[in-house]
Chain A
Amino acid sequence: MENVTQIAQLTINGMSIGAIYGLVALGLVLTYKSTEVLNFAHGDVLMFSAFLGWGLIEGLGASFWLALPAAAIVAAAATWLLEQRVVRIIAGQPQFAGVMLTIGLAFMIRGMVSMGFGPESRNFTTPWAGQISHVGGIVIADLNLIIIAVTLVITAGLYGFLTRSAVGVAIQAASQNQLAAYLSGIRVKRLNSLVWGISGAIAAVSGMLLAPITMVDIGLWAVLLKGLAALVLGGFGSVRGAIVGGLLIGLIEQFSGVFLPDGFKDVMAYLVLIGVLIVWPRGLFSEAHGRRV
């Protein structure tokens, strides 16, 4: 039936763009949980990595699967340094300072990319350009499969890392009670830089996966806003929530594009964000906090 195919198509598209939103939110959650800084420069790191990837693929002729990890490593190193040299300076100050600092860094990155690469949108070739597969009678662009697959790999890998490895458990400990972690001998500062580095790598992967859909363009940074919507929906501070929130936002967007009047698709994410914060501020999977007076 045509309707079923349409719904299945929308679902796949929604899940694939939603997976990217989820990855963006995941990167934000990691830095927020470890350093209590909401990294407003995350979208710009993503954008920078996409440009870097473009430079590697179209400029140096590298393949996508080489450029992806390369961009990830560069982004990870850059965000590691950023945390170590810049963000650490404002540790202990109110959250507002972190917001302002990362906004400032975001502008700097955006300005540098704009000056260095120029304002035109561009594209890079991917090994699966234009290829499609047939799954259960539905036509799926290979791009979507790749995106979903990579997201699964990253999420599973991160989950395993955080829960099974010593470093991962230490990261969790430091995010729950920094002082106790210090006193237990955990190198908290170094772990914070590591988490930021991981977040940067995730941003790079998100950017490289997003660019084939929306082109390599300065405006890529705005996916940060969708990531924020995903974060709010899933519940601030929740890793599960980030991914689930992202998938939901992606699905909501796709379905509203078809079933709601024109113009709603662009702003559905923000309507959801505002709606969630008004009605159910804790989101889907949040942790309860309270302040003792």
Chain B
Amino acid sequence: MSAPLLTVEHLSVSFGGVKAVDDVSFQVGSGEIFAIIGPNGAGKTSIFNLVTRVFEAGGGRVTMRGKDITRVPRNDIVRFGIARTFQNIELFEGASVLDNLLLGRHRFPTGNLLQQIFYTPRVRHAEDAARDRAEDIIALLDLAPHRNSPVAGLPYGVRKVVEIGRALAAEPELLLLDEPASGLNPEETRDLAFWIEDIKKDMGITVVMVEHDMSLVAETADRVMVMNMGRVLTTGTPQQVQSHPEVVAAYLGA
């Protein structure tokens, strides 16, 4: 593996005496699909929250492309090339699908406030460019029929996809997907697997996903990390992990 994209070293956080994440270390290489699995409460989403600075780390370090991002302000994370989705969908309910995607592009400035109030040609071109990028994502994720629909009324599966699209709109290097397949039917999960492959191959984005759906993990992931009770059990390929005795005991069952 060449220089790792994301490095997590001895990361930990506690909530009132409960060690949600306990001395967790792992590395994610550029261009790979890395899955984190484990029973509920193992600390998987907490890892995401620590990396994206929703939680304040109690100890340890997170490095992205060699830069230490353990303490950067929360809204700066996206500028380091990290985008995420949320376990309980956090879409902008009052906006349309297109607006959600355009909001995903917020980190690309379009002009200062005065120019925006006067809607100068520069702003207009920036808006067109943003729309263009958003349309690429709409095309990739088959969202065209819903483009102008308010997000609030859409089916659950579509909303999950919109959230992935919004994260992609930020043009990240690292995409964190929190249980992307939860609540999706088998057909939607199959589509999701194809999209994750596309994201890796065509867009060159590294994906880290927290997932319970083992078939999706086995199909798409390059490497898997198993967590239990805040600690790492083991890391390896899906095949290695699936036959690991401790993993079977703690999570997969015989």
Which residues of chain A have a CB within 8 Å of any CB of chain B? Answer: 292-293
Give Cα A199–Cα B86 distance, bound, in whole angstroms.
Answer: 40
Residues of A within 8 A of B49 (CB): 293
| B16 nearest in chain A by CB position | A288
Is the C-beta of B112 less than 8 angstroms from some C-beta in chain A? no
Is the C-beta of B90 less than 8 angstroms from some C-beta in chain A? yes
Give min CB distance, A268 to chain B, whole Å.
37
Is the C-beta of B120 less than 8 angstroms from some C-beta in chain A? no
Give min CB distance, A198 to chain B, whole Å.
34
| A288 nearest in chain B by CB position | B16
Give Cα A155–Cα B34 distance, bound, in whole angstroms.
Answer: 58
Give Cα A292–Cα B46 distance, bound, in whole angstroms.
Answer: 10
**Interface size classification for chain B:** under 10
Give Cα A293–Cα B176 distance, bound, in whole angstroms.
Answer: 14
| B84 nearest in chain A by CB position | A293
Is the C-beta of B87 less than 8 angstroms from some C-beta in chain A? yes
Interface residue ranges of B64-105 to A (CB < 8 Å): 86-88, 90
Give Cα A292–Cα B87 distance, bound, in whole angstroms.
Answer: 10
Give Cα A292–Cα B49 distance, bound, in whole angstroms.
Answer: 10
Residues of A within 8 A of B90 (CB): 293
Residues of A within 8 A of B86 (CB): 293
| A292 nearest in chain B by CB position | B88
Give Cα A293–Cα B90 distance, bound, in whole angstroms.
Answer: 8
- 7 chain-A/chain-B pairs, Cβ below 8 angstroms: A292-B88, A293-B49, A293-B54, A293-B86, A293-B87, A293-B88, A293-B90
Give Cα A132–Cα B90 distance, bound, in whole angstroms.
Answer: 62
Give Cα A293–Cα B88 distance, bound, in whole angstroms.
Answer: 7
Interface string of B44-56 (1 = CB under 8 A from A): 0000010000100
Residues of B within 8 A of A292 (CB): 88
Give Cα A173–Cα B204 distance, bound, in whole angstroms.
Answer: 52
Interface string of B21-59 (1 = CB under 8 A from A): 000000000000000000000000000010000100000
Residues of B within 8 A of A293 (CB): 49, 54, 86-88, 90
Give min CB distance, A28 to chain B, whole Å.
29
Give min CB distance, A217 to chain B, whole Å.
42
Give Cα A292–Cα B86 distance, bound, in whole angstroms.
Answer: 10
Give Cα A93–Cα B102 distance, bound, in whole angstroms.
Answer: 27
List 6 tightest A-B contacts by C-beta distance, closest first. A293-B86, A293-B54, A293-B90, A293-B49, A293-B88, A293-B87
Give Cα A16–Cα B199 distance, bound, in whole angstroms.
Answer: 68
| A290 nearest in chain B by CB position | B15
Give Cα A292–Cα B48 distance, bound, in whole angstroms.
Answer: 12
Give min CB distance, B174 to chain A, whole Å.
18
Give min CB distance, A179 to chain B, whole Å.
16
Give Cα A139–Cα B82 distance, bound, in whole angstroms.
Answer: 70
| B90 nearest in chain A by CB position | A293
Give min CB distance, B43 to chain A, whole Å.
13
Give min CB distance, A96 to chain B, whole Å.
13
Give Cα A293–Cα B46 distance, bound, in whole angstroms.
Answer: 9
Give Cα A286–Cα B54 distance, bound, in whole angstroms.
Answer: 23
Residues of A within 8 A of B88 (CB): 292-293
